[in-house]
Structures are given as C-alpha cells and as structure tokens.
C-alpha cells in the first residue's frame, strides 16, 4: 500500500508505512546514517501529515518488520489485547494525539489502554507531538513496580546509584556507595557495571552488595549489570542475586547481536523468580535500551531508530520489569548528534515506554565526542522530572570513570527533587530519615548534618 500527501502544490509519495514512519521522524543523525530520514523539512512535514491520517488499526495489518521473520513482531502481534484497544480502535494517529491531550485520557484510562497499544502506534503518535505534548501525556501515567520498595508513585523520583570502578576495586566501589547514600541516592537500585564478565568476579560483587544492603537494612535492591546468562550461572552457584539485567533491542536480529532471544530472557526471568528475594513484589528484571542499537548492529530492517527503540519496550513489558532504562546519549553522535536530538529522544522514549505500561527511567547522558554538554543534560533532567520519570542515574561527579561518558550526579537528583518537590521511594525515604541522612523540611528533603559515625565507618570498612 502506498501513502501520499500534498504540501504547497507538491505531492509526496511513500512506498509503505515503514517509510512514512521514518520520514515523519524528527531529524536525527542515526536515521540519516541509515538512509531512511526525510530529505527535507518539507518532506518531513508531508510525512507527518500523512501519518496523522493513518488509522491506528493499520499498524495491526501492516507490520513494519515481517511477522514470519522476526520474533519481536510476533510477540507484539500475538500479545495484543483487542479488548483494551477497542475504545480507541476507530481513531487515526492524529485523533489519538488529540485524545491523549484531552481530559478523557487520565491515569486510569491510560493504564487500561496500555495492553492494547503496540510500539508502532505510540512511536507514530510521538512523531507528531511537540515536546510539551510528550511531557503532558507522560506525566499522566503511573507505572508502579515493587521488589524491596515502591518505584514510580506520584510525587516520587528514584535513582540508580552507579558505583562503577575501572578495576572493580572493592574499596573504590564502597566509597562510591557511601557517597551516593549520603546524597539520598540508590532507591531504584545499587547497580554496578562490572569491568569484566568473570562469573567468579560477578559473584563476589553480588556478595558485597548483598552484605551492604542486608547489614544496614536498606530497602533497595542490588544488581550487577552482566549478561543474562552470567546472572543465571551466578544463581546456579548460589550467589545472592536480586535483579536480572540485560540490554535489549527492538528486533530479533539486534537481540541476537547481544547474544539473546526471548527464550533466553524467559530463562533469566524464571531463574530470578526462583530466588524469592523480593519483600514487597516480584518485579525483578532490569533492562537497558537506547536509540540506535538496532542500526549499530545492522539489524534495523529499514525501520527508523525511534520506532525500533519503542519495540524494545514490548520485549521489556513481557517480563514485568522493575526498571527499564533508556541510555539515551550513550551510543554516540552517529545516532543522536547533539543536545537537541538527545533531549527530544529522551522525552520520546519516556513517553512511549510509559504509554506501553513500562516503568521508564533514563540515563541522561552523552559521550565526550557529541555536540552536547552538561547544560543540555540539566534541561533534559528538568523536563523528565516534570514528565514523571521513574528514575535517573546517580554517579560520582556525573563522570563515569569506567564507561567514560557523562551523565547525572548524586547532587543532580537532589536538585530536581528540591525544585519539583519530589521524594525518594517511601520505604527508602523512611530509612534515610532513620539514618539521619536526610531530614524533612516542609515539602523537601534536606541533607542531614550529623551522619552517625558508626554508619560511616562501617560502610568505609565494608570493602
């Protein structure tokens, strides 16, 4: 089926829905690199206007990646909830945008709708939305998950405490954990990117995290961000593993480049459930994604990078994750060239994930060769806080010395919590008050002045 739209006396034609979607995407370097981007602003506007007239049900009839050749497409189609979709099944993409911005689309209706939406539907509507639209709709949505605390509640914003070290040195990691806890970080997870993927080394790091969390009764969870198969092996060896981590993408071929498929993820999910380590719930998967991952693996099938990213959220929601994190600027300027593209992508990812019922966080970040700086990250941080982001990253000095990229710091979380009146997860907030790390001051949490020395010394000796 072909699509067309006329602008200023010129008629633009598109061969299929995949091309309409790609040409309608706001400009970004990855789509240009892939050869799927609009050739001009006029063509982009024509594609966006054409897309606005496409019925939502069309995305159930015309797969962007063939059903027969891609297990992610099969997952999307086979798990689609027709009853949940029914209330909006008569709408076009443009009508859907208007509905989302209206009063009828509230927290309860959006929660009920999520199983009836496909990634392609939410990606399509995001392409015709302004930044303020993406924020307005996303802040209506609450996706609450639980393991040892409650993440995603209204008025709350959690943080991942990321104590990476280039040699996995225990003392260095412990120092970063202490630093982060003193700034009220770590309620989403204390998550370490290991320098090596040795199973023995992973098990030692898991034991260290478990010792810290258990000894001080911290209502949070630990995670070593290793390959899912390594996590399975660590569980088999009896290691105290809370969350099962994996990077995922939106196509079968891209996931194969990560060494996974849906069956592997299912095995990891079931292994994690067998541990029974959650006290409040059993959301135990932690997924990371990023626009450009499918293209970097030459596994995008001609689909634009933002739509591929949204398809990754369909993979994620199958396993009821605790956390899903778009590492928005990490892959590099080949995919998101500058601060403007990174900001737009972060808001798109959060919007699409939330509409699909996924607990979205964002690593608000950039690489040192991108045309971006920390001011851009401050803007995205503030916008995502306003949009109701579930969690962000907390890293010493906003500079990851192991992964060599720039992100958000421990004090950045304090900034956005104070400015927007946000708090940590309630169970973690209570623990911080008990430990005299943070104190309540009106609607805001303030750093305590007198941390108990016994707690400080004990953490410093943990390594």
Please tell me whether 162 is known to bind a ligand.
yes
296 has binding-site annotation:
yes
Residue 368: CA atoms inside 13 Å, Cβ hemisphere, count?
7
User: What's the CA gap between 275 and 297, in Å, rounded?
Assistant: 33
For helices 228-236 and 262-275, angle between their N-to-C axes, nearest 10 degrees? 30
- Any binding-site annotation on 452? no
| 161 is known to lie in a ligand binding site | yes
Phi first, then psi: what are they for 407, rounded to 5°?
-145, -150
Residue 323 φ/ψ, nearest 5 degrees: -140, 140
Q: 71 to each of 65, 67, 303, 305, 326, how far by Cα in Å?
A: 10, 7, 16, 18, 22
139 is in an annotated binding site: no
To 10 degrees, the CA torsion angle through 56, 262, 326, 124?
-10
Tokens of 218: 């911290």
Consult the annotation and say whether 288 binds a ligand.
Answer: yes
Cα separations (Å) of 250 from 76, 80, 84, 365?
10, 16, 23, 21
Cβ–Cβ < 8 Å for 77, 60: yes
Extract the annotated binding site for adenosylcob(III)alamin: 194, 246, 296, 402
Extract the annotated binding site: 160-162, 193-194, 246, 288, 296, 363, 402
Extract the annotated binding site for substrate: 160-162, 193, 288, 363
């Amino acid at each position: 089926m072909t699509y067309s739209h006329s602008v200023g006396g010129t008629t633009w034609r598109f061969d299929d829905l995949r091309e309409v979607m790609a040409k309608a995407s706001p400009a970004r370097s990855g789509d240009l690199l892939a050869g799927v981007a609009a050739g001009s602003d006029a063509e982009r506007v024509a594609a966006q206007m054409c897309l606005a007239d496409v019925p939502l049900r069309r995305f159930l009839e015309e797969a962007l990646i063939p059903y027969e050749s891609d297990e992610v497409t099969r997952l999307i189609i086979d798990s689609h909830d027709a009853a949940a979709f029914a209330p909006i099944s008569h709408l076009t993409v443009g009508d859907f945008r208007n509905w989302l911005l209206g009063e009828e689309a509230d927290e309860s209706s959006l929660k009920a709708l999520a199983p009836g939406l496909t990634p392609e539907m939410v990606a399509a509507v995001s392409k015709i939305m302004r930044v303020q639209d993406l924020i307005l709709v996303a802040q209506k949505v609450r996706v609450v998950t639980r393991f040892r605390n409650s993440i995603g509640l209204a008025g709350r914003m959690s943080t991942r405490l990321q104590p990476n070290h280039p040699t996995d040195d225990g003392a260095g990691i412990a120092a970063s954990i202490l630093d982060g806890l003193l700034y009220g970080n770590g309620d989403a997870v204390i998550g370490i990117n290991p320098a090596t993927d040795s199973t023995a080394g992973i098990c030692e790091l898991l034991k260290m995290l478990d010792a810290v969390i258990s000894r001080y009764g911290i209502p949070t969870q630990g995670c070593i961000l290793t390959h899912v198969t390594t996590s399975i092996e660590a569980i088999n060896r009896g290691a105290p593993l809370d969350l099962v981590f994996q990077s995922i993408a939106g196509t079968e071929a891209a996931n194969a480049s990560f060494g996974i498929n849906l069956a592997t993820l299912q095995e990891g999910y079931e292994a994690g459930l067998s541990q029974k380590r959650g006290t409040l719930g059993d959301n135990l998967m932690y997924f990371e994604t990023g626009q450009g991952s499918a293209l970097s693996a030459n596994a995008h099938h001609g689909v634009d990078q933002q739509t591929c990213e949204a398809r990754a959220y369909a993979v994620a929601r199958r396993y009821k994750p605790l956390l899903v994190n778009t590492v928005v600027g990490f892959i590099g300027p080949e995919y998101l060239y500058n601060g403007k593209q990174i900001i737009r992508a972060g808001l798109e990812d959060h919007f699409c994930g939330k509409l699909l019922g996924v607990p979205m966080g964002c690593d608000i970040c950039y690489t040192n060769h991108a045309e971006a700086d920390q001011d851009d990250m401050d803007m995205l941080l503030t916008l995502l806080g306003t949009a109701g982001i579930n969690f962000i990253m907390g890293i010493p000095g906003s500079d990851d010395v192991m992964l060599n990229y720039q992100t958000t710091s421990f004090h950045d979380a304090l900034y956005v919590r104070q400015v927007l009146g946000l708090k940590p997860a309630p169970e973690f907030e209570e623990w911080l008050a008990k430990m005299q790390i943070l104190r309540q001051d009106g609607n805001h949490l303030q750093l305590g002045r007198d941390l108990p020395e016994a707690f400080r010394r004990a953490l410093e000796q943990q390594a």
